[in-house]
């Protein structure tokens, strides 16, 4: 699939339902801000331009974006998702399209799904949006459709009971042709929330005779994060995937559902992880190592055959081959200012 496209990620919202001082899109999933998942999915498609719209807690959000090839647009007042997208117009005015638009609070979207959206527009649709059938559609916009064509989206707040009963929802990922910014100017805020709704573009595109198609995705990818409970659910999905990947590569996990690890961790074949093990940061564990129950390892390297027994904390440590770290051992790596490495030699017995 050739050709260039631009991508806009909406990340200016406050995230009231999280009840947190931290901007919603910066809440960590497996140690990494949720926004970076959306960002990495966007980058996988090599967009010609990539704009992140920031607003609430914007300085912190911009900081988290450091080092990534993105442009930033500011939404000073959070007046809704359509208004947020309109703030990217100044940067993208001369870009002919197509455009991908995603939300910073939808971390499980895959590049493949984004590609499918883009393809619909490249093949002639004016707009394509991702939908999913959810067992519990509460909180999401409901999709009105006829065959492959979408007739409209109704936000839950505005939906009568018969529309609330629809389980096909708007997943918050869209592709648009070059008509986008013109169409955005027609969005009104006459609704329950007094907000400018991005999915109102469905009706506007149709009123201009442009086709709007749905791409039906898998439910998991559509999961958005608006509450702490949804954050935990998405983190659970990411953890399950990560554990399955390492077990596939030869790691033994006892009661895998109790084991926490981050995407930055590396494990060798024949590593054994006991229940409740917590592996964080740049931890690397060598072949045949054993990590005991409720051991916490952070930025720690365990050479082949080493053992860290239960209730151990190892931070910023390197543990030599076949060393045995007895139960309850703690390495002190932080004095409140600096981080200090600990080196434990091969064959040591603590």
Q: Nearest to Mg ion by Cβ — which residue? A: 224
Query: Based on C-alpha coordinates, what's the Rg of the chain?
Result: 23
**Residue 198: which of ligand UD1, Mg ion, none does it interact with, CB under 5 to 8 A by kind?**
ligand UD1
- As a dihedral over the C-alpha atoms of residue 74, residue 77, residue 79, residue 83, rounded to 10 degrees, the angle is -30
**Residue 342: which of ligand UD1, Mg ion, none does it interact with, CB under 5 to 8 A by kind?**
none
Taking Cα atoms as reference points, which of 47, 50, 54, 56 lies closest to residue 15? 56
Least distance in angstroms from the C-beta of 127 to ligand UD1: 14
**Residue 306: which of ligand UD1, Mg ion, none does it interact with, CB under 5 to 8 A by kind?**
none
Which residues between 67 and 106 bind Mg ion (CB under 5 A)?
105
Q: Give the one residue of 141, 224, 286, 315 binding Mg ion; rule: CB under 5 A.
A: 224
Question: Using H for helix, E for strand and C for coil, what is the string for 81-121?
Answer: HHHHHHCCHHHHCCCCCCEEEEECCCCCCCHHHHHHHHHHH
Taking Cα atoms as reference points, which of 27, 48, 22 lies closest to residue 37? 27
Residues at the interface with ligand UD1 (CB under 6 A): 10-13, 25, 53, 55, 75, 78-81, 83-84, 103-106, 140-141, 153, 155, 169-172, 197-199, 224, 226
Taking the C-alpha atoms of residue 118 and residue 300, their distance in angstroms, rounded to an integer, is 42
Nearer to ligand UD1, 64 or 344 (CB): 64
Least distance in angstroms from the C-beta of 122 to ligand UD1: 24
Give the DSSP letter string of 117-156.
Answer: HHHHHHTT-SEEEEEEE-S--TTSPEEEEETTEEEEEE-G
Nearer to ligand UD1, 76 or 248 (CB): 76
**Residue 197: which of ligand UD1, Mg ion, none does it interact with, CB under 5 to 8 A by kind?**
ligand UD1
Least distance in angstroms from the C-beta of 53 to ligand UD1: 5
Which residues between 101 and 130 bind Mg ion (CB under 5 A)?
105
208 is catalytic: no
Catalytic residues: 310
């Amino acid at each position: 699939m050739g050709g260039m496209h631009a991508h806009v990620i909406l990340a200016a919202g406050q995230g009231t339902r999280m009840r947190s001082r931290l901007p919603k899109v910066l809440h960590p999933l497996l140690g990494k801000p949720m926004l970076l998942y959306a960002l990495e999915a966007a980058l996988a498609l090599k967009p010609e331009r990539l704009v992140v719209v920031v607003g609430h807690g914007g300085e912190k959000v911009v900081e988290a974006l450091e080092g990534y090839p993105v442009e930033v647009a500011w939404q000073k007042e959070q007046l809704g998702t359509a208004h947020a997208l309109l703030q990217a117009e100044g940067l993208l005015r001369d870009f002919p399209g197509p455009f991908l638009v995603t939300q910073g609070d939808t971390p499980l979207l895959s590049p493949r799904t984004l590609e499918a959206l883009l393809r619909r527009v490249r093949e002639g649709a004016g707009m394509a949006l991702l939908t999913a059938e959810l067992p519990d559609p509460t909180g999401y916009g409901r999709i009105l459709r006829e065959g492959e064509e979408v007739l409209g989206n109704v936000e839950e707040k505005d939906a009568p009971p018969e529309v609330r009963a629809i389980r096909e929802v708007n997943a918050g990922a869209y592709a648009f042709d070059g008509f986008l910014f013109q169409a955005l100017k027609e969005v009104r805020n006459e609704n329950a929330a007094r907000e400018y709704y991005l999915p109102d573009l469905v009706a506007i595109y149709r009123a201009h005779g442009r086709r709007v198609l749905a791409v039906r995705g898998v439910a998991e990818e559509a999961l958005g994060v608006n509450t702490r409970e949804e954050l935990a659910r998405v983190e659970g999905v990411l953890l399950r995937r990560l554990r399955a990947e390492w077990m596939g590569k030869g790691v033994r996990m006892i009661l895998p559902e109790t084991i926490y690890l981050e995407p930055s961790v590396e494990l060798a074949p024949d590593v054994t992880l006991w229940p409740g093990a917590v592996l964080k940061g740049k931890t690397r564990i060598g072949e045949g190592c054993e990590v005991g129950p409720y051991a916490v390892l952070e930025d720690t390297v365990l050479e082949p055959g080493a053992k860290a027994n239960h209730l151990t904390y190892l931070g910023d440590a390197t543990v030599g081959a076949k060393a045995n770290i007895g139960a309850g051992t703690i390495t002190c790596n932080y004095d409140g200012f600096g981080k200090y490495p600990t080196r434990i030699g091969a064959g040591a017995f603590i």
